[in-house]
Amino acid sequence: MAYHSMSPLVRRWLAGVLAAQLGLGPLATPAYAALTPLADEPLAVRNSAKPNIILTVDDSTSMLFDFLPDYVVSAYCRGGTGAMTAPCGNVGAANDFTLVGGGKYFSPGYTYQQYTYPYANFTGTYDAAGPGAGCFPGSPPTCSQAVDPGALPGIAIYPAGPQPSWPHAGNPYEYWLMWPAPAHNAGLNALYYNPRLTYDPPVDSAGATYPHMDAGSTSNWTQVPADPWASTIINVDLTATVTDGLWCNSDWSLGSATDRTQCRYNSTPSSARWSPSDSM
């Protein structure tokens, strides 16, 4: 192995250079990021910071939905076989195919319940909600409002639709979709009425609370604003008869509607007496 010798003079010069670098290194200016200027006056006097908060106001149709989150209208309702495989509502629609010879249907998202609820009764802007409503593919597409089941006992099958291609025509009317459904429960649907909560009146723009309805006056309950902030106030009668949902402990309760051990109304004990025509 060959070795190359270094003269003593070169070794001393190199050692001196290294020693100088070690000694002067801490005095050198490192490369830091640019300095951040600090405010020289209180922020309350003048805030020169650039804004980093965005306020978004959403007035889209989805703000009218009566369910939250979106998945609660998925396949959680009973279908024609009794299994929980049917949708519980409509995710909304703004379809207009009249230019191609089809129909149109416009509605916010809603959970299936009584015919025309929740929007058509309160405003004429939207189409009737409920079973049969929506637009369906085809050439041209077929659209339909909800179909009125009529007075008890109601229709058995869907009538002929707006067009021959309407897929519901001649099929059994889907009463099982109307009421009740898991989406009509605050445990699944965050926007649904929760009896464990106390709902206070909202406040106005000045922070003042709107007055309570007078529970001692029946006449007031017949004229309740459906939407107190609407441009045109429409009142509803809360004393009118409505269909009350019947809950059963089986996916298939056909023939057992009067069996109190299997089916009952909300908040009623198993000993409560009632008939299928009862309402509240």
Q: Identify whether 65 is part of a domain.
A: yes
Distance of CA 65 to the CA centre of its chain: 5
224 domain-assigned: no
Whether 189 is covered by a domain: the verdict is yes
Mean pLDDT by 10 residues, the chain (280 residues): 58 68 57 65 69 80 84 83 82 88 88 81 81 87 90 90 86 82 84 85 86 65 79 82 73 73 70 47
Q: Taking the complete model, does pTM exceed 0.85, yes or no?
A: no
Number of domains making up the chain: 1
Whether 234 maps to a domain, the answer reads no
DSSP state of 88: -
Residue-range definition of the domain harbouring residue 94: 61-199
- Domain presence at residue 115: yes
Q: What is the pLDDT of residues 27-53, one digit of tens each?
A: 555 555 567 677 677 766 676 667 778
Residue 275 lies in a domain: no
Name, in order, each residue with C-beta under 8 angstroms of 224's C-beta and a sequence gap of 6 or more.
213, 235, 236, 237, 238
Q: Judge whether 249 lies within some domain.
A: no
Whole-number Å distance between alpha carbons of 260 and 273: 8
Q: Is residue 26 part of a domain?
A: no
Write the pLDDT tens digit of every residue in 117-161: 777 777 778 898 888 998 888 888 889 999 999 888 899 999 998
